[in-house]
Amino acid sequence: MRRMAGVLLTFVLASACPCPAQTVQGQNTQSNARIGLSGGMGVSYVSALDVVDLVNANGGQTERVSEFKAGAEFFGTVTIPVSLDWGLKVEYAYLIFSFNQTFPSLGASEFTVVVHMPTVLGQYTLVDEGAYNVKAGVGLGYHFGSLTERYSNLDDRYTGRGLGAALDLEANTAFGESFYGYLGGILRWDFVGTLTNEAGRSAKLVSMSSDPTLEFFSIGARLGFTYYF
């Protein structure tokens, strides 16, 4: 099953490249023995319940925003081999999403969330056939986020920080001996704490029962490139 999954991923990714996989077969190109640099972008669907409640509280009983919101994620990673099967992946990811609403009481409004997510993951190699590989990882990081509110005469920024956990799955297929295409998926659970502004004031509204945080769950897909040294 593992070999079949790897072959399928190779076919999907390599179909966009004129370089046949045979050009790297038979060479010593196994990624688990080499340092790798990856980068790219993706789309994440984010459930940040406290932020959603805050946006809805500002809008009163008018149009409500949904729990899940699509956001853009940009990432860069360094993978360092530790053993034949295990590697250490150090990642920085930048996530941004926003709610742009028009409320009768506020007019046009914008609530923008930005999260900086440095994370260290232990990564296990499921398949490594030189021309392609499949890896899975789990890790933790200390993340930093902000919420910017703009409506009426208000322009304020609230920040928070806290732990974040991630599970990821990635596949790489060779375009050459060192240059690979990257396709991945990631799950995140972030526990960024209470949002406060420069004056130390919470983003909480009178109608809310507790101080809003930037805790969220997300699921995302990624596309990019990997270079192995």
In a domain, 11, yes or no: no
CA–CA separation, 46 and 63 (whole Å):
19
In a domain, 90, yes or no: yes
Nearest Cα neighbor of 184 from 140, 154, 219 is 219
Query: Does 105 have pLDDT greater than 70?
Result: no
- Residue 62 pLDDT: 65
Domain that holds residue 194: 40-124+137-172+184-198+209-224
Count Cβ atoms below 10 Å from residue 64 Cβ, excluding itself. Answer: 12
Copy the structure tokens of residue 191. Answer: 């526990």
Of 16 and 204, the one with more pLDDT: 204
Region 111-126 average pLDDT: 97
In a domain, 25, yes or no: no
Per-residue pLDDT of 3-47, as tens digits, reads 444 444 443 444 344 443 334 444 445 777 899 999 999 999 999
67 within 8 A of 49, measured Cβ to Cβ: yes
Of 82 and 20, the one with more pLDDT: 82
What CATH number is given to the structural domain containing 96? Answer: 2.40.160
Q: Which of 19-23, 75-79, 107-111 has the highest mean pLDDT?
A: 75-79
What residues form DSSP beta bridges with 60? Answer: none
Indicate the length of the chain as a whole number: 229
Region 208-218 average pLDDT: 93
In a domain, 16, yes or no: no
In a domain, 214, yes or no: yes
In a domain, 4, yes or no: no
- Residue 1 pLDDT: 45
Per-residue pLDDT of 167-193, as tens digits, reads 999 999 999 989 999 999 999 999 999
- Residue 29 pLDDT: 55
Copy the structure tokens of residue 213. Answer: 């945080």
- Residue 166 pLDDT: 98
Q: Which helix (H) or strand (E) holds 227?
A: strand 213-228
In a domain, 165, yes or no: yes
115 within 8 A of 158, measured Cβ to Cβ: no
Copy the structure tokens of residue 152. Answer: 């009426």
| CB proximity list for 186: less than 8 A, separation 6 or greater | 42, 44, 166, 167, 168, 169, 218, 219, 220, 222
Stretch among 22-26, 152-156, 159-163, 194-198 having the lowest mean pLDDT: 22-26
Q: How confident is the model at residue 155 (pLDDT cuts 50, 70, 90)?
A: confident
- Residue 93 pLDDT: 98
Region 203-218 average pLDDT: 89
Q: Domains in the chain: how many in total?
A: 1
In a domain, 219, yes or no: yes
Of 84 and 161, the one with more pLDDT: 161
- Residue 56 pLDDT: 86
